[in-house]
Structure 1
Amino acid sequence: MEDVELYPWTKIAPTLGVIFISPALLTVGGTIGTLLPIEMAVAVSILAGLTFSTLIYLHGGVGSRAHMGLLRVMEASLGTKGSRFFASPLITITQIGWFSVLITLGGEALSNLTPMPKALSITIFGILVASVTYFSFRHLSDFTKVTAIVTGAFALWALYAILTSGSTPSYVTNGDLLYASTLAIGGAMSISTVSPDFVKGAQSIRDLKITAFGVVFPVVIFSLISGSLIGHHTSIPNPVQALMIIGLPILANLLLLVGSTAAASSLYPPSIAISKLAGISRKNATVLAALGGLIVSYMGILDQLRIFLQLIGVLLPPLIGINLAEYYVLSKAVLPKEGVYLRGLISWILGAGFGAFIPVGVTPINSLLISFFVYLVLHIRLKSFF
């Protein structure tokens, strides 16, 4: 058990909940809104919110009960080296991706407010945001609460403008419901995966339950539904680009600009992971993560958001699956294993492979379930080998 200070839900819930009120999740919702009729988009948003909350309750519950962060939890299903050299890089890649999405949105908003070209504005914005993580690491929670309030204000302003405009929404054909669900659920799968880091200090299961279903659930569906309405009305998933069509003044970019500084929190997991993986200081790891994020942003991650969401939906759910199998079915405790635990690695490979090469149904859920059951089968049938 880690030396963790315990808190009630009133401390845990806001820290986790505000992460889901960001321009990045508005963009995910906007993507769903461009694919589906609004009724279906709302239904998918609610389904995604329920899925997130359930996974945070179950997977975060492992960390909450054992009072351990994700990488310590992963030592029970992947081994100490498997957690450090396999799970840690996966988390790093996905969180750097979200950092890139947010600094791209913030950079675009800054470019609209100034004469700077987009690439320069992204660079300046990314450096400024990374400096928050670098210098004010202990105050990230309070900082993220401010960005969430600003983003929420923008979303409400946009919704008011849409509802009072009297204009007809853009026409949307009946899209693929399962594909849209895959994108929506994949959208916050990274937070569901690292949720043990955020709730390991929960005093009780009651505090965790209130956090997952009383706070995270309504916050997620607010962000996704708001984004869906913006995307449905404008046929543009990017909230920065949708501003003019909605009819908001150019200064609305200021709200998105401030809201996008939530990217500072996205650097938290990869900076810790890189620090432990490479054996360097947290500040140096933050610099490396930020540089990686800038490069990915220059490569146009926002234009490839659907691919990024699909990638998350394949790579991360199997990690959750093997942790759930190890803790809830087999061990009932977090029992670290030395080296690389092949049972967990094979289960992850098969779960991710199924999601990547057999894209039927909702891919993130499929990948999670396959890894879960493979882990159990290997325990029963091949216990002597794994």
Structure 2
Amino acid sequence: MAGSQVGTDDYALARVPASARYSWWSVATQRFGQISALSQFLLGATLGFGMSFWSAFWALTLGAVILELVAILIGVIGAKEGLQTSVIARWTGFGQAGSSLIGLAIGISLIGWFGIQSAVSAAGLQSLIGVLPTWGWSLLFGLAVTLVVLRGFHSMAWVAYVTVPAFLILVGWSIISELSDHSLGSLVSAAPPGPQLSLLEGTTLVAGGFIVGAVITPDMTRYNRTVGDVVKQTVLGITLGEYVIGLIGVLLAHAIGSANVITIVTSSVGWVGTLVIILGTLKINDWNLYSSGLGVVNFIGSVFGRHVNRAAVTLVVGVLGSVLAAGGILDKFTDFLIVLGVAFPPIAGIMVAEYFVVKRWRPELDQTREHGTLPATAPTWVPATIVIWIGAALIGKYVAWGLPSINSLVVGFAAYVVAGKLGLIRGVGTSKTMDSEKTEITAVPATS
């Protein structure tokens, strides 16, 4: 199916050329839209239910710093190479086969969250408008997001320009309505209404809540023009998202003595609260679907040697996710998706270690970058990387000390560096890069 018939391929398996890059502000708006989502609202309420205001503030601060460091380091790789996460992985330690596993993990994980978020918005639409049952709204909302993502990054940028300000205005309205009867000073000094969370537990919640989004940062930063743009957008987007939405959630939890912000917001301000839920879900859900589609495209390309159109894949997975959400099936997969999430942090550690320290395949990327092409070949397997990946993920899952996601990321980074110094990072087999990927792309200049 031709890309022109369905949507844009959006350089799914190729470098994004300089002429198709966007201003840092355009990308930052989308990053902020990801962080300032409904899930961040709920995270803040969870912190506020178990922590004092200032304890929650420091948990958000530490968590944001961790996420920013991860997002900046791996985001710089995306900006310099102009490649999406799972394609970069071919030359940053994982090889062709390893990158296909990453693409599959991203595809399954994010289409699952896409469906779950669609179901959340559907419940809000059903309570606001009625008319259709929840499953009907799940289908409509999921398909509406799918249509946006079919047109690629450009379309998603314009959605962000509309939804992010609208979300912030509606959040402000709902918060003023709810907190008007409370003294801000008393809320800030109030003891947490629920079972107490430690600073370590709070920081774990913050860092773990967006670590998958941080790891797949190259999907977004490949559209940045400079390394400086990556730093600016990351610091602005993540910092504002964590503080503005997170701390509002903390104050709400103190005001109402509950972590159930959704119920309070919708009941206190009615349709405005429901719109908050819908807008707060839309901006993260389009990126869930977008990155899921990119992961599946790379999986098919790596395993079957076929370059399928990104928009066509997006249409299929978007419809699938919408149908699963309508059937209520995805609720049963939440635990599985959380477990799958422990596999992501070591990916970032390994990719950063290879690209900036070990540099086993870095020269091949450097040599082809200026021509806008990809290296002619990639290693098929890198056995040492697979062992490190699995080992680091298990540490993240089962070691109780510290921050699980950061433990696995640091172990992945350190183990790969040590293995590189010992000469253990070696490819087994060679896979050719498809001609469609190696060909330089002529781009239509970005408009913003």
Asked if TM exceeds 0.5, the reply is: yes
Query: Does residue 1:2 correspond to 2:15, yes or no?
Result: yes
Deviations 1:154-197 (A, max 9, x none): 32223323431228887222124333322221211122111112
Correspondent of 2:345 among 313, 317, 328: 317
Mapped contact 2:32–2:240 kept (Cα < 8 A) = no
Mapped contact 1:186–1:310 kept (Cα < 8 A) = no
Point out the more displaced range, 362-371 or 224-233. 224-233
- Correspondence for 2:290: 268
Counterpart CA distance in 1 for 2:157 and 2:118 is: 18
Query: Does residue 1:224 correspond to 2:237, yes or no?
Result: no
Counterpart CA distance in 2 for 1:304 and 1:41 is: 29
What letter matches 2:142 in structure 1? G
Q: Over alpha carbons, which structure has the higher Rg?
A: 2
Correspondent of 1:37 among 52, 59, 75: 52
Counterpart CA distance in 2 for 1:118 and 1:231 is: 27
Counterpart CA distance in 2 for 1:173 and 1:334 is: 53
Tell me the CA shift for residue 308 of structure 1.
7.2
RMSD: 2.9
- Give SS of 2:94's match: coil
Point out the more displaced range, 126-135 or 344-353. 126-135
Tell me the CA shift for residue 58 of structure 1.
1.1
Tell me the CA shift for residue 237 of structure 1.
4.5
Mapped contact 1:351–1:370 kept (Cα < 8 A) = yes
Deviations 1:250-308 (A, max 9, x none): 3431343244322223211111222332344323322332244342672464x987x57
- Correspondence for 1:158: 174
Tell me the CA shift for residue 335 of structure 1.
4.4
Query: Does residue 1:52 correspond to 2:93, yes or no?
Result: no
Tell me the CA shift for residue 101 of structure 1.
3.7
Tell me the CA shift for residue 381 of structure 1.
3.1
Correspondent of 2:358 among 318, 323, 330: 330
- Correspondence for 1:184: 206
- Correspondence for 1:74: 89
What letter matches 2:88 in structure 1? V
Point out the more displaced range, 375-384 or 42-51. 375-384
- Correspondence for 1:65: 80
- Correspondence for 2:196: 174
- Correspondence for 1:282: 310
- Correspondence for 1:380: 421
Gapped runs of 5+ residues in structure 2? Answer: 1-13, 301-305, 366-377, 428-448
**TM-score, length of structure 1 as denominator length:** 0.87
- Correspondence for 2:7: none
Between Structure 1 and Structure 2, the one with more helix by share is 1
**TM-score, length of structure 2 as denominator length:** 0.76
Identity of aligned residues (%): 20
What letter matches 1:256 in structure 2? I
Tell me the CA shift for residue 95 of structure 1.
1.9
Correspondent of 2:271 among 225, 243, 250: 250
Deviations 1:54-95 (A, max 9, x none): 212111112223333212321121002211x21111212332
- Correspondence for 2:430: none
Gapped runs of 5+ residues in structure 1? Answer: none
Correspondent of 1:15 among 15, 30, 34: 30
Counterpart CA distance in 1 for 2:226 and 2:341 is: 29
Sort the Cα spacing of 1:41 and 1:214 in 2 relative to 1 into closer, same or farther, 3 A. Answer: same
Counterpart CA distance in 2 for 1:239 and 1:142 is: 28
Query: Does residue 1:94 correspond to 2:109, yes or no?
Result: yes
Counterpart CA distance in 2 for 1:64 and 1:157 is: 37
Query: Does residue 1:127 correspond to 2:148, yes or no?
Result: no
Tell me the CA shift for residue 369 of structure 1.
0.6
Tell me the CA shift for residue 368 of structure 1.
0.2
Counterpart CA distance in 2 for 1:213 and 1:153 is: 22
Following superposition of structure 1 onto structure 2, how do residues 188-203 of structure 1 map, counting pairs within 5 Å? Answer: 188-203=210-225
Tell me the CA shift for residue 7 of structure 1.
4.2
Point out the more displaced range, 274-283 or 108-117. 274-283
